[in-house]
Structures are given as C-alpha cells and as structure tokens.
C-alpha cells in the first residue's frame, strides 16, 4: 500500500512524521492519532483538511452512518489514505499518458 510518495503526501497534508520504513500498520496508526487529535481539539481544522485532501463528503457521511459501532477516526483515516493512494495512481497514469503526446500537440 505505501511507498515514498504516500508517506510524503501524508507528512505534508497532515504534518506528521511518518517514514517509508514504517509498516502499513504504523502509518495507519500515526494518521489515526492525528485524526483523533483534530477530532478532539480542532474539528474545523479536520473539516478543512478533508476538503483540501478531497475526501468524498458523501462517502464519509455514508460510512459514518452505516458503521456507527466503528471508531470514526478509523473510518476517516482510511478515507484519507485511500484518497492519497488514488492521487498517486492518477498522477502515475497521467504522467504515463502525457509521455505519449507528440511534441507538437503539447502546450
């Protein structure tokens, strides 16, 4: 799941100190800790963060409503990591596709 790009994105967006030598479980744990901290101390900052990362509001609401027995920080952390992984995949796909454009068609 994780690579250097993911760790870099998470560190930048969440102001955490994850490393690419950490296990997936350790990365999830540190993201969850940050989310819990924001839930308890600065909910508006959490909402701003989710908006900036572009976490789907509809998906978040649905998951929170249908998993009321689950820790909200677990759900939110999972969505943050999932969205960052999507961004990395999208960037890789776009970079690959943009390499196939002829020089005269590039801007």
The yes-or-no verdict on residue 14 having pLDDT over 90 is yes
The yes-or-no verdict on residue 31 having pLDDT over 90 is yes
Residue 70 carries which DSSP code?
A: S
d(CA 100, CA 12): 30
Phi, psi for residue 31 in degrees, rounded to 5: -65, -45
Confidence of residue 20 (pLDDT cuts 50, 70, 90): confident
Phi, psi for residue 92 in degrees, rounded to 5: -65, -40
**In a 3-state reduction of DSSP, which class is residue 15?**
coil
Residue 22 carries which DSSP code?
A: S
Residue the block writes with tokens 């998993």: 67
% pLDDT > 90, the chain: 71
């Amino acid at each position: 799941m994780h690579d250097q790009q993911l760790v870099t994105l998470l560190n930048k967006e969440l102001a955490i100190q994850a490393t690419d030598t950490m296990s997936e479980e350790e990365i999830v744990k540190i993201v969850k800790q940050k989310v819990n901290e924001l839930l308890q101390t600065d909910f508006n900052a959490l909402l701003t963060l989710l908006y900036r990362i572009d976490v789907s509001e509809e998906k978040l609401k649905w998951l929170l409503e249908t998993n009321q027995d689950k820790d909200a920080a677990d759900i939110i952390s999972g969505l943050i990591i999932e969205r960052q992984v999507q961004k990395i995949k999208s960037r890789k796909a776009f970079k690959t596709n943009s390499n196939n454009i002829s020089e005269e068609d590039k801007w």
